[in-house]
Structure 1
Amino acid sequence: MGNTDKFEMIAKRYDTPERIQIAKVSSDAISEYVVDAKSKKAIDFGCGTGLVGMNLLNAFHSMLFLDTSPNMLDQIKQKISDLNIQNAHTLCFDFEKEGLPGLRADYIFMAQVLLHIHDAEFILSRLFDVLNEGGHLLIVDFDKNEKVVSDIVHNGFKQDDLAEMMMKIGYKDVQSKTFYTGRGIFMGHDASMFILHSRK
């Protein structure tokens, strides 16, 4: 997945108060779409240090924290161990390089992950294959922001364009909304975040 090397370097100091706060508003937004999921399997895709997924653990039967950065996953493993969590597992894997045929989930969520992925449509297609029939994909990311200029991340997304791409893949009931605006939250710029919910 994009920018793995950078995340490898910052893993141990990733959990800043700002990131913890953004993760909290993101997981709160995701939780509004999680219904009767106590028997369901979830994947926190591109989980980083698990800040979002950890807030949602109790909603699901089990959660897989999936990332391409071993150092980030080491941080989660420590949290799982420290808190004696029984329903969480980790997997180091890169969907941009290969598929994982046996992997299945009822919910997949990705918070501020898509902006790091070069070919968003390709990854969203692979995640469609992972979802069980009727499963949910939830995306939290930044609205398109022309002030952000970067050669390593997308400068956000237009919600309509993203929805159109997903419907082309086969996702249905696609709906999205902007739910949070913050100062300096996107590479130093003021920005807004959206949540997109879809089903297979």
Structure 2
Amino acid sequence: MSDDAQSPQAPEGLSSDQALAVLRGAGEATRLRILALLAGAELNVKDLTQILAQSQPRISRHLKLMAEAGLITRFREGSWVFFRAADSGPEGALARAIVESLDASDLTLARDHARAEAVQTARAEAAQSYFKAHAAEWDSIRALHVAESQVEAAMDEVLGEGPFEFLVDLGTGTGRILELFGPRAAKALGFDLNHDMLAYARMKLERTGLSHAQVRHGDLYNVPLPDEAADVIVLHQVLHFLDDPAIAVAEAARVLKPGGKLLIVDFAPHELEFLREQSAHRRLGFARDQLGRVLEGSGLKVDRFHELSPTGEGKLTVSLWLGLKPAAASKKRKENRNVEVAA
């Protein structure tokens, strides 16, 4: 039987030892409370010490044990480390089953969730302060081009209804793209280097209940994802901030699955030089063929191009490029690797 015709394998389960390790990881009062909290939000050690009124060393020990058991996952964001309940694999399935079996009206758990909401509200207010401080700048740029609603409608039409298996938003900013398209994806992940933006995006996603949509600290030139992981990637108003947009597009192409879609939304060429100083724009827009060559150089085929032109002088045209990764790209790369090995 050929590799392409292999029978699908049954999902891997837990051995008895692994299952016992997971159950022991949750089998303590504080750890069970932590698991219930992390099933609904991403929290750091400081958050958990405030919510549970326990010392940082004690909370850290519990988190270490739970992470080793596979109950929770951790990720670093600058000097902070955030935790959330595992959302994949057999350990994640068992963790969800444990949380779902808990009585939501339990007084201790209810108090924990109330304190968690207070902590998250305080964090959201800090993020909101940052957003408000920069709102005037962003509003002034938005006033220069067609309404966001028109841009988002065009993106919706170009991407299609889905459903998507794994959507990635590179340069997620406030998380708006995850908010828009996350509901039609089984999993959605946004990356950004700005910690304040990430805090704001995380707050928005938690409030909208999109628990499967998450944000992470990450560099667009070196996305922390394996090859061919995502079936949809979006670069929305990001490339004009970069010194080398071609590297970011090539990195997106690397992460894209064969048959996947890369949607780029950015400005057409313009002469508004003040945006370099006022808003740190490195590029004053991109021509249709310019980004087309970048996409093709990254192994993608330009499938769609669309322009949204506003009325009035000094206004910015917004362009949309949809790149597709040929299904044969992965096979050809594997063949090349086999030739290199044989040589």
TM range (shorter): 0.7 to 0.9
Q: Aligned pair 1:119/2:244, yes or no?
A: yes
Paired position in structure 1 for 2:299: 170
1:61 deviates by 1.7
1:64 to 2:189 alignment: yes
Relative distance call for 1:62 and 1:183 in structure 2 (3 A) is farther
- Normalised by the length of structure 1, the TM-score is 0.81
Whole-angstrom CA distance in 1 between matches of 2:303 and 2:177? 22
Residue 4 of structure 1 is matched in structure 2 by none
Q: Does 1:37 align with 2:162?
A: yes
Distance, in Å, in 1 between the alignment partners of 2:236 and 2:209 is 25
RMSD: 2.8
> Which residue among 203, 222, 226 is the counterpart of 1:102?
226
| Structure 2: distance between partners of 1:168 and 1:135 | 16
Cross-structure match for 1:155? 284
Mapped to 2, the partners of 1:197 and 1:160 lie a distance apart of 13
Whole-Å separation in 2 of the counterparts to 1:111 and 1:79: 18
CA change 1:125–1:133 in 2 (3 A) is same
Bigger radius of gyration = 2
Contact 1:73/1:90 (<8 A) preserved: yes
The residue identity in structure 1 corresponding to 2:262 is L
CA distance, structure 1, for counterparts of residue 147 and residue 247 of structure 2: 27
- Specify the code of the residue in structure 1 equivalent to 2:226: G
Q: How much does 1:124 deviate?
A: 0.7
Structure 2 segments unaligned to the other structure (5+ residues): 1-126, 326-343
Query: CA offsets per residue over residues 115-148 of structure 1, 9 Å max, x none?
Result: 0111011111111000011110001110000233
Question: Kindly tell me: are residues 183 and 48 of structure 1, through their superposed partners in 2, closer, same or farther at Cα, counting changes over 3 Å?
Answer: farther
What is the Cα deviation at residue 175 of structure 1? 2.9
What is the identity, as a one-letter code, of the residue corresponding to 2:243?
Answer: H
Contact 1:23/1:52 (CA < 8 Å) preserved in 2?
Answer: no
Residues 183 and 210 in structure 2, CA contact (< 8 A), matched pair in contact too: no
In the alignment, which of 286, 297, 319 is matched to residue 194 of structure 1?
A: 319
1:95 to partner: Cα distance: 2.8
Cα distance per residue 1:87-139 (max 9 Å; x no partner): 2011110133x342426211111111010111011111111000011110001
User: TM-score, normalization: structure 2?
Assistant: 0.49
- Of Structure 1 and Structure 2, the greater helix share is in 2
Q: Deviations over 1:55-106 (max 9, x none)?
A: 222222221121111110101111122222222011110133x342426211
Partners in 2 of 1:89 and 1:95 — Cα distance? 16
Q: Percent identity?
A: 21
Match of 1:102, as an amino acid? P
Change (3 A) 1:38 1:79: same
Q: 2:202 aligns with which of 74, 77, 84?
A: 77
Secondary structure of the residue that 1:155 maps to in structure 2?
A: coil
Query: What secondary structure is seen at the aligned counterpart in 1 of 2:266?
Result: strand
Higher relative contact order (CA closer than 8 Å, sequence separation 6+): 1
